[in-house]
Homo-oligomer: A and B are copies of this chain.
Amino acid sequence: MTQQPAHQAEIEALCRRAREASLRTADLSTATKDAWLERAAERLEAAKTRILAENARDVTAAERAGLAAPLVRRLVLEGDKWRDMVAGLRDVARLPDPVGEISELRVRPNGLRVGRMRIPLGVIAIIYESRPNVTVDAAALCVKAGNAVILRGGSEAIHSNIALADELRGAAAEVGVPEDAVGIFRTTDRTALQPLLAADRFVDLLIPRGGPALVRMVRQESSIPVIAHDEGVCHVFLDESADLEMARAIVRDSKIRQMAVCNGLETLLCHRKAARSLLPAVLKALHEEGVEIRGCAETREVFPDAVAADASDFGKEFLDRILAVHVVADLDEAIDHIERHGSDHTEVIVTESYRSAQAFLRRVNSSTVGVNCSTAFADGYRLGLGAEIGISTSRIHAYGPMGLEGLTTRKFVLYGEGQLRE
């Protein structure tokens, strides 16, 4: 007898039920899906005390286990996070439903009318860590886009996740959405991930949200398509013509508005001809706010408070009060540096030159490329998507901040009157 991983039957059944549910969610009316979102918000509010008690169990256990303080903070659902999570459900209800939209409808020479209709992807599995609010955010977006979702959160948030998901499922049953449109892992057994990764008959897309190790493991072990949301090594390039005040403000906002976010600035590049005029003022402000500057030799010449960067500092995601700084010969060298060290997340040029701006926008093929703005705009809400399930740094299907549209695809629809090929 071959040995089966624990929970194999349980997880397979979860996936199969999600597949069956997805056939029904694909054809739900917008009104029904929005009623579910509104009802889910109401139920969360009504169950708040109970859910926060479950959340407190997770937080206490994490503290006892000696989890680092920032990780414990991610677990906590109280306060702003609770309010944002519940408001998020109502926000998603107000977003336009992408399903059924027909675009590019054109008439062929033979009179056949050909269009593209937006449809759900089917079953989407989200593999995430720590933050229990992802349970609610991800389910809301996936189901609004007509999909069924399978949620596999971190073991440290298991009580919170189950409490939240059960309210979402309860709301579903009330309004005519299949309960199994929201599937949740009820085990924290690590081996239970394997049957999910193997469920290619039932699952259309895996979205791992976590570190590079998680993403690599998921890609390697599963033949299901993966859209990864992993690290961001974002660059700002100060061009020769950059305005000093703008450069200082953009670098500051990109670096220290929030530190532990994937759209935060990690490496600052500066045109050699502007190093002396720009870097001292730009870096001084940061340094005074406690940011460690790790500079190349030329950086340290113009800003002696910098410590020496070593090669591994370029391309590193610090997520902390550290900034790598490199002086480059020109725009070409900046683009080349980004190609070699970047992570295809977000890059910004600060410039007054039309030519440099156009070249940077055209030639840098990261998922978000900007001129004269903060890297912090790489965010689905800020870019006008209405919501965000994550930020993809791989070019297949979705690239950059990914909203409802990224959770759908398009089929061809043909309106004929008896047309034949022959």
Contact = CB atoms under 8 A, between A and B. Distances in A.
A161 interface: no
A396 B121 contact: yes
B119 A416 contact: no
Number of copies of this chain that the complex holds: 2
> Looking at chain A's contact residues, is the secondary structure mostly helix, strand, loop, or mixed?
mixed
Nearest to A392: B409
Nearest to A408: B395
Interface stretch (A45-53, A70-78, A397-405): A397-405
A403 to B, nearest CB: 12
Contacts of A365: 26, 119-120, 411
Interface in A330-388: 339, 348, 361-363, 365-374, 376-378, 382-384
Interface stretch (A90-98, A245-253, A306-314): A245-253
B249 A416 contact: no
Contacts of A368: 411-412, 414
A369 B413 contact: yes
Of the listed residues A220, A383, A394, A412, the one surrounded by the most CB atoms of chain B closer than 10 A to its CB is A412
B395 A249 contact: no
A422 interface: yes
A249 B367 contact: no
Contacts of A417: 372-373
B377 A414 contact: yes
A419 interface: yes
Interface in A310-333: none
A418 interface: yes
A147 to B, nearest CB: 10
Pick from A200, A414, A417, A419 the residue with the most CB of B within 10 Å. Answer: A414
Interface in A69-121: 100, 106, 108, 112, 114, 117, 119-121
Given A371-B416, A377-B414, A411-B369, A361 B117 contact: yes
A232 to B, nearest CB: 14
A415 to B, nearest CB: 6
A273 B26 CA distance: 28
Interface residues of A, number: 71
Contact of A219 (B100, B216, B223): B223
A421 interface: yes
Given A117-B361, A418-B249, A377 B204 contact: no
Contacts of A410: 399-400
A367 B205 CA distance: 17
A397 B397 contact: yes
A223 B220 contact: yes
A382 B421 contact: yes
B395 A412 contact: no
Identify the interface centre among A114, A339, A348: most chain B CB within 10 Å of its CB.
A114
A23 interface: yes
A399 B119 CA distance: 11
A122 interface: yes
A225 interface: yes
Interface in A192-212: 200, 204-205
**Smallest CB-CB A-B distances: 8 pairs:** A373-B416, A370-B414, A376-B421, A219-B223, A253-B420, A372-B416, A225-B396, A397-B397
18 contacts: A27-B363, A117-B369, A119-B365, A119-B395, A204-B394, A225-B225, A225-B394, A253-B421, A253-B422, A257-B420, A367-B411, A368-B411, A369-B413, A370-B416, A371-B415, A373-B419, A377-B414, A396-B409
Interface of A: 23, 26-27, 100, 106, 108, 112, 114, 117, 119-122, 200, 204-205, 216, 219-220, 223, 225-227, 243, 246, 249-250, 253, 257, 339, 348, 361-363, 365-374, 376-378, 382-384, 394-397, 399-401, 409-422
